[in-house]
Amino acid sequence: MENELTYKEALAEIEQIVSNLEGDKLDIDQLSVSVKRVAELIKFCKSKLKETSEEVEKTLQTLEI
């Protein structure tokens, strides 16, 4: 499922979970699952940002002939 996820979708899901946490919309049983999901999403976003940064850097280097 993570492979189909986009950065924008992951960020939106993080924002929704944080909103639910701030609004006390999660019960104690959902809290642990939600925190774990946010951690997974953050890891995914960081990886995506790193990958994109490396691709951009590589592309820019090819232009500096």
> For the chain (length 65 residues), average pLDDT per consecutive 10?
82 95 86 94 97 95 82
pLDDT for res 1? 45
Q: Which domain holds residue 37?
A: 2-63
Rg value, the chain, Cα: 16
Q: How many Å from the N-terminal Cα to the C-terminal Cα in the chain?
A: 40
Whether the model clears a pTM of 0.85, i.e. scores above it, the answer is no
Residue 26: the pLDDT is 80
The pLDDT assigned to 65 comes to 61
Please name the helix (run of DSSP H) or strand (run of DSSP E) that holds residue 8, with its range, or none. Answer: helix 7-22
Cα–Cα distance measured from residue 49 to residue 61, given in angstroms and rounded to the nearest whole number: 18
The pair of structure tokens assigned to 29 is: 């049983």
What does the pLDDT read at residue 34?
93
Counted domains in the chain? 1
Q: Enumerate residues 6+ apart whose C-beta is below 8 A from 20.
A: 26, 34
